[in-house]
Structure 1
Amino acid sequence: MRYRGVLSIILTIFILVSESYAYGYKETLKIAGDNNYPPYEFVDENGNYKGFNVDVMNAISIELGIDIEIIPMNWNDALMSLRRGEVDIVQGMTKSLYRKSIFEFSNELVINSQAIFVRKDTSFVTEVKDLSGLKVACQKGDVSDELIRNVSDITLLEKENQGLAIEALLNNEVDAFVGNRLTGLYYLQKTKRIEDVKIVGEPMHTIQYCSATKKGDKETLAILNEGIKRIKKNGTYDKIYKKWFGESFSDTNEKWKQLFYIAQIMIIITLGFTLSVYYWNKRLKKEVEKQTREIKEKQKEIDQNDRLKGKIIESIISGIIAFDSTGKIINFNSFAKNLLEVDIQEGMTWHDIDIYERIKVEEIKRVLSNETLKKSIQWKLRNGEIKYIDCSIIPIKGPECVEGVIMYFYDYTKEKNLNEMIIHHDKMQALGKLSAGVAHELRNPLTSVKAFIDMIPEKIDNINFREQLMRIVPQELNRLNNLVSVLLDYSRPKESNPQEVYFDELIKDVLLLLNPHFKKKEIKITQKFNNLIFWADVSQTKQIILNIIVNSIDAIVKKGRIDITGHIEDDKAVIRIWDNGCGINKSNINKVFDPFYTSKKDGYGIGLSITHQLVQENKGEISIKSVKGEGTLVTIRFPIYPD
């Protein structure tokens, strides 16, 4: 254990010694300093060189384990010695732009400032420009020399150090002294002449005070910075600073100035307090009256806004009901009450007005989670009438979450009834076009039946005749019955009822109606589809296909061709109807679905418009391509599954 202790001590000493000699790149660093720049650096009456800078350099020497030689000299000589490389460091120098161009500066030692010193009886100097026309003393080569050199008409007396420059002021050789503020105060206090001199104006050239090396000597500069860093870290710097700057030097002029400022502030405070007490009640009363007026005006404005919002809601020709997040009604308009025939009141819930029977709770929850819902509903009134209503449900968004929902009711019953009338009219118009052909188709089986009936008296005993009568007459009657059934089914108004559509069966009925026209114009029909099934309304789909094929027939003059194909593509049933008719002008192709647009002399322009609408109602799509003189292709897409 004892050997371990000895070994630890040896290792510690080795580390300290190694660290101490890490920066000993020279035997001795030569350091120059001003011989009379207290309290930074000066030679006292006993010939000892001392001061803040001297203590800092000695502390760095001890901390880094380097040898130094501090040489006091005239300040200007110190600057020249550093520039010529005769010394390595100037231990203290105020940093300026000019000096930065010829020296390297260490990290900051202290913050320095310059001041103007004048005799007590001087009252006309308050700033640098007031020195114009006067004799002024300063230290040769000091930063203060740079501050006053450009003042016009000044007589400058340069001294070797700041002590001699202050002496020149005290001995009436000059009118003012410009130099380091702390040095000046230190010298005046030490010579007990502080009462004879005062400082005027604000502190000047407040800037960093550092150590300096020759320009480009980065190695020595690094040693200085490391030493400053260490003595600041271990507390040595704070002790040195307190030793030389801990006690503030007396500045009588500054004291009186501070007292004057304090007195002014006290008077102002006292006066302000008195006036405040005097006017407080009056101002408070006015403020209360003002606040009261503003509150009343705000309340009036809020009331007006509420009334305006209410009028706006009432003036909307659609029903509006607003619910909070719990389902309670917070606002509504009269149109909603009249439309639904429900006595709506605030505080009621959607259960009280039977909304939940048409709109599911899950759908309301989706809206409360910030979705928007649109839905068509049917509403039965007391007299049994059915209203068709588009219902939009929109979330009411708060700052953090959805705070409720707004239900917007639009009554489209009249539009729906009018649309059904137009569709029915379109059917009747199509039937009118087919009437001649249908009459011919009806006449053919009737003629056959009549011929057999006329021959009954003569050939009733003929076995062959009886066999033909029993075979042909029922066939013709069935043919007649099928044709009448198709006509009745097509012409009868029906409610939309989407279901599975078997296209094979549907196209047979349509082609049966149009067969006379195919024969009349000698049109060849080709079909290519197998078990094509999709989801739509059967009656509306018949009307769609009929309208398109009728247009194809109208476009063919004689001996034409119509191709009907169908297949499944991307979950859609795709039906294509092509004809080799006259085609459509390129400039008119985008207008064919517009209401009342037609290129026919006897047309009304509603057929394709109704066709387009019916396709959309069945969640389908329709498009037309055409080349003038070559033909037209109509493509229809229907969903194969219910929505």
Structure 2
Amino acid sequence: MENKNNSDYENVKTQVEQLSMELEEAKNTLLQQEYEAGIAELSVGVLHNIGNTLTPSKIAVSMLLQRLDKSPLRNHLRKILQPLEIAIPDCPLAEDEKQKLLKIIKVLPDGLEEEYAQNISDVENIRDKQEHIASIIALHMRYSHLKADLCDVNISRIIDDAISMQSESIKRRNIEVVKEIAEVPYLKIQESKLLQVLVNLLKNAYEAIDANPQSDKHILLKAYVEKQNVIITIKDSGLGFDPAMKARFFDFGYTSKKDGSGFGLHFCASFLTSIGGEIKATSVGEGKGAQFTIVLPV
């Protein structure tokens, strides 16, 4: 009888310990969700403030472009100087002084036009950067407002959005991005998290190219259907890796970069595993680039 009581006690104790563990895991999950929600809310506020600050500067740049384009000095200087050019030969000046004045009159409008053209080009470049920042803010705002619910996701569009978010970093490095996107079905998935996966992998790709001076600087993105799965691959011409590194790629905290957090690839793997997908990394070897393959169940 005593053995039975001991056995019952041990069973109850085991069940209580199991329930305690499950409650602790549930609590940690809720805390993480609250933390992520707080970060998302903070990010939305920061983005909103940046957008508000950007608007008046965009207006100022637009007005500056108009003033430069319609400047009376730029548009009418040559015409204004024509009477002076005609009058100089009859002026009581030495011949060499007359020639200097005539040369100035001929050169001045061209020099001013060239300077104005350069200024307009610089201001237009600033305007383009502002538009790029505004588009990035708009994308982040849109994705930050998405609920965690599943929704039908256009894979081609989300790849374009990920590239757009990283376009400035890619352009600055003169990296060629090539897309080969086949017709793939919409997927019911958490859109903002899939976007984060793609952004993380693109960032890893161009940073790997930075680390490989011999690289011809290109990134190839593909999307296609294979065996009831949507496959997305991101292949870069970066540093690559050896098999020993691959074994720890998706471990939390592991990074091969000096300033890396070790969270990006771990997040990618965790999210994809949670939806029944997976991520794989392949490389021929160091200095020969790498490919990350995302497998998403249809």
Q: Match for residue 116 of structure 1?
A: none
Structure 2 Cα separation of the partners of residues 540 and 496 of structure 1:
9
User: SS state of the match for residue 629, structure 1?
Assistant: coil
Q: Aligned residue for 2:268?
A: 611
CA displacement, residues 188-231 of structure 1 (integer Å, 9 cap, x when unaligned): xxxxxxxxxxxxxxxxxxxxxxxxxxxxxxxxxxxxxxxxxxxx
Among 493, 502, 509, the residue aligned to 2:161: 509
| Alignment pair present for 1:318 and 2:31 | no
1:454 alignment partner AA: L
Say yes or no: does 1:574 pair with 2:231.
yes
Q: Describe the superposition over 1:427-463 as per-residue Cα deviations: whole angstroms up to 9, x where unpaired.
A: 9xxxxxxx9xxx9xx98x98774343136578499xx
AA aligned to 2:204 is: N
Give me the whole-angstrom Cα distance separating, in 1, the residues matched to 2:195 and 2:234.
Answer: 14
Q: Which amino acid in the other structure matches residue 27 of structure 2?
A: K
Which of 56, 62, 76 pairs up with 1:452? 62
1:488 is displaced (CA, Å) by 2.5
* Counterpart residue identity of residue 17, structure 2: I
Is the contact between residue 529 and residue 566 of structure 1 (CA under 8 Å) also seen in structure 2? yes
The CA deviation at 1:500 is 1.8
Return the alpha-carbon distance in structure 1 between the equivalents of residues 64 and 268 of structure 2: 46
SS at match of 1:584: coil
> What is the CA distance between 1:509 and its match in structure 2?
1.4
Q: Which amino acid aligns with 2:256?
A: S
1:529-544 map, 5 Å: 529-532=181-184, 533-544=186-197
Q: Distance in 1 between matches of 2:38 and 2:200?
A: 13
Describe the superposition over 1:387-408 as per-residue Cα deviations: whole angstroms up to 9, x where unpaired. Answer: xxxxxxxxxxxxxxxxxxxxxx
Distance 1:560 1:569, change over 3 A: same
CA displacement, residues 466-501 of structure 1 (integer Å, 9 cap, x when unaligned): xxxxxx9xx9787654321112345x3865322221
Alpha carbons of structure 1 residues 612 and 420: separation in structure 2 relative to 1, 3 Å = farther
* SS of equivalent to 1:592: coil
Deviation at 1:538, TM superposition (A): 0.4
Task: Calculate percent identity across the aligned residue pairs.
Answer: 20
| Secondary structure of residue in 1 paired with 2:247 | helix
The correspondence of residues 261-300 of structure 1 with structure 2, limited to 5 A, is 299-300=1-2
Higher RCO, Cα 8 Å, sep 6+: 2
Distance 1:589 1:426, change over 3 A: farther
For the 8 Å contact 2:183–2:224, the answer to whether it is kept is no
Q: What SS is found at the alignment partner of 1:614?
A: helix
Q: CA deviation at 1:568?
A: 0.5
Partner of 1:637: 295
User: For residues 418 and 597 of structure 1, do their structure 2 counterparts lie closer, same or farther at Cα, with a shift above 3 Å needed?
Assistant: farther
- What does residue 26 of structure 2 align with? 413
Partner of 1:33: none
Give 3-state SS (helix, strand or coil) of 1:318's partner.
helix
Q: Is the 8 A contact 1:423 1:610 kept in 2?
A: no
Give TM-score scaled by structure 1 length.
Answer: 0.31
Partner of 2:244: 587
Q: CA deviation at 1:639?
A: 1.4
TM-aligned CA distance change 1:583 to 1:422, over 3 Å: farther
User: Where does 1:127-526 land on structure 2 (aligned, <5 Å)?
Assistant: 299-313=1-15, 315-318=16-19, 412-417=25-30, 419-420=32-33, 449-454=59-64, 459=70, 481-490=134-143, 492=144, 495-526=147-178
Partner of 2:198: 545
- Give distance in 1, aligned partners of 2:138 and 2:257: 30
* Alpha-carbon distance between aligned partners in 2 of 1:556 and 1:426, rounded to the nearest angstrom: 30
User: Which of 241, 253, 261 is residue 596 of structure 1 equivalent to?
Assistant: 253
Counterpart-to-counterpart distance in 2, 1:600 and 1:478 = 32
Q: Cα RMSD over matched residues?
A: 3.8
CA distance in 2, matches of 1:583, 1:600: 13
Q: CA deviation at 1:584?
A: 1.2
Distance 1:573 1:585 in 2: 27
Of residues 261, 282, 292, the one that matches 1:625 is 282
Which residue identity does 1:549 align to in structure 2? L
Distance in structure 1 (CA, Å) of the matches to 2:29 and 2:9: 35
Aligned-partner Cα distance in 2 for 1:417–1:300:
42
**Letter paired with 2:174:** E
Q: 1:568 to 1:453 in 2, by over 3 A?
A: same
Q: Identify, as 1 or 2, the structure richer in helix.
A: 2
**TM-score for the superposition, normalised by structure 2:** 0.64
Partner SS, residue 595 of structure 1: coil
Residues 240, 288 of structure 2: 8 Å contact kept = yes
Q: Number of matched residues?
A: 227
Q: Deviations over 1:507-546 (max 9, x none)?
A: 1211111111111110000001134332321001001001
Equivalent residue in structure 1 for 2:222, among 552, 559, 565: 565
In structure 2, relative to structure 1, the CA distance for the partners of 1:631 and 1:494 (3 Å cut) is: same
CA–CA separation in structure 1 for the residues paired with 2:65 and 2:7: 92
Change (3 A) 1:304 1:612: closer
Q: CA shift at 1:419, angstroms? A: 4.7
**Structure 2 partner of 1:127:** none
Closer/same/farther in 2, CA of residues 318 and 579 from structure 1, 3 Å limit:
same
Q: Structure 2: which 5+ runs fail to align?
A: 41-46, 73-123
Alignment-mate amino acid for residue 266 of structure 2: S
Which secondary structure state, in structure 2, belongs to the residue aligned with residue 517 of structure 1? helix
Distance 1:639 1:307, change over 3 A: closer
